[in-house]
């Protein structure tokens, strides 16, 4: 996608692969988690997959996305001004939300492979109820508006105040899944604010100034905490409905999400130093395209596998995840050559109007 991509920064002279690799890891985990949910919900698949994997993934993958989405907000606001930056982001996020709601919910109205979750035409008008994974877009827009107006980077006191306020709000809504625009995702806001305050250039400095040993120690410590939370099992997930939202599950959930975020960042920094992982960084650079299209792709893949008599959950998880990552990349590539880039970016006429404003 162009520089309007909401989940990756514009290319710059100090770009480090750590951020892209972290996005790549996160989007693969997101696709895997949604494949797991689809397998669980399918009566045609013999599944024994119910266990700690899905909750463990939901504990961390979207938290990483939220943190990374905040890293380059200050740079964007400083370069273009708050009003212009918000106009560009707002137009993009609203366009993608409306378009993919129509595509994804519309497919359920049509039925066919999507008949198991059929929707009525009236549901196309219920835009306040986000379709599947698309809740992330209105929440991200609201969070972006918040920080662009507050400018938490202007002073330490202002930054800590916003971080504290959003953290307090997150504790109230953690484990709540309201299926309403902006409300779903509120628990991620402090991680986004933390990303805004940390800044992408500081991540580059921190990574470049850290030895392999230091990164490995951080990864080991964070991984131990994260796996400990998963092993305990009694935790609340930030954005998925959790049966117990009392103090102890909330505490475990916050610890698990925070340690999982640090784990992914440390592992990504280590992987960024290895050759041959440009493909994973590329997956991260195209994370939005994958995020938008993988649900539709996953439903079709599952339907094909069931029609072919594949009933083992392991095959569905492996094939569904691989195709769920690769097929959206193919769709993005074809869209760019078929002059259908508007599937993943603001249509060119709207971009020209914004540039002229």
pLDDT tens sequence across 30-43: 999 999 988 887 76
Banded model confidence at residue 348, pLDDT cuts 50, 70, 90:
very high
The residue written with tokens 């964070």 in the block is 222
The residue written with tokens 């994370």 in the block is 287
Distance CA 282, CA 3 (A): 15
Closest by CA to 59, choosing from 295, 231, 280, 269, is 231
What token pair was written down for 160? 């800590």
Do the beta carbons of residue 232 and residue 253 sit within 8 Å?
no
| pLDDT, tens only, 162-199 | 999 999 999 999 999 999 999 999 999 999 999 999 99
With 50 as the cut, is the pLDDT of residue 29 above it? yes
pLDDT of residue 13: 41
Distance CA 301, CA 298 (A): 5
Banded model confidence at residue 1, pLDDT cuts 50, 70, 90:
very low
Distance CA 69, CA 191 (A): 9
pLDDT of residue 6: 44
Contacts for 275 with CB less than 8 Å, ≥ 6 apart: none
Banded model confidence at residue 114, pLDDT cuts 50, 70, 90:
low
Determine the 3-state secondary structure of 43 from DSSP. coil
With 70 as the cut, is the pLDDT of residue 10 above it? no
Closest by CA to 183, choosing from 111, 130, 219, 255, is 130
pLDDT of residue 356: 84
pTM for the model stands at 0.91
Q: Quote helix, strand, coil % in the chain, to nearest 5.
A: 75, 0, 25
Determine the 3-state secondary structure of 46 from DSSP. strand
Q: What is the DSSP letter of 338?
A: T
Distance CA 315, CA 311 (A): 8
């Amino acid at each position: 996608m162009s520089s309007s991509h909401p989940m990756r920064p514009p290319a710059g002279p100090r770009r480090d692969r750590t951020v892209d690799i972290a996005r790549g890891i996160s989007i693969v985990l997101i696709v895997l988690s949604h494949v797991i949910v689809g397998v669980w919900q399918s009566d045609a698949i013999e599944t024994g997959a119910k266990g700690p994997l899905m909750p463990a993934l939901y504990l961390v993958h979207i938290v990483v996305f939220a943190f990374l989405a905040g890293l380059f907000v200050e740079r964007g606001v400083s370069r273009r001004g708050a009003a212009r930056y918000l106009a560009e982001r707002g137009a993009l996020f609203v366009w993608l939300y409306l378009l993919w709601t129509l595509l994804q919910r519309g497919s359920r109205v049509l039925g066919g492979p999507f008949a198991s979750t059929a929707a009525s035409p009236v549901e196309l008008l219920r835009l306040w109820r986000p379709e599947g994974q698309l809740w992330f877009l209105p929440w991200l827009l609201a969070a972006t508006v918040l920080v662009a107006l507050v400018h938490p980077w202007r002073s330490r006191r202002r930054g800590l105040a916003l971080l504290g306020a959003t953290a307090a709000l997150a504790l109230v809504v953690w484990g709540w899944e309201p299926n309403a625009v902006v409300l779903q995702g509120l628990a991620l806001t402090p991680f986004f604010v933390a990303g805004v305050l940390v800044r992408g250039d500081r991540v580059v400095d921190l990574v470049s100034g850290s030895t392999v040993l230091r990164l490995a120690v951080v990864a080991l410590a964070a991984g131990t905490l994260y796996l400990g939370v998963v092993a305990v099992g009694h935790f609340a997930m930030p954005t998925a409905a959790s049966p117990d939202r009392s103090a102890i599950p909330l505490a475990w959930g916050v610890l698990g999400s925070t340690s999982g975020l640090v784990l992914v960042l440390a592992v990504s920094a280590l992987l960024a130093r290895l050759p041959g992982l440009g493909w994973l960084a590329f997956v991260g650079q195209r994370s939005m395209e994958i995020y938008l299209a993988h649900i539709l792709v996953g439903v079709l893949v599952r339907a094909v596998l069931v029609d072919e008599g594949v009933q083992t959950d392991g095959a569905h998880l492996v094939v569904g995840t691989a195709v769920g990552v690769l097929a959206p990349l193919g769709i993005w590539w074809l869209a760019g050559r078929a002059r259908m880039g508007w599937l993943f970016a603001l249509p060119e006429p709207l971009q020209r109007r914004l540039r002229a404003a």
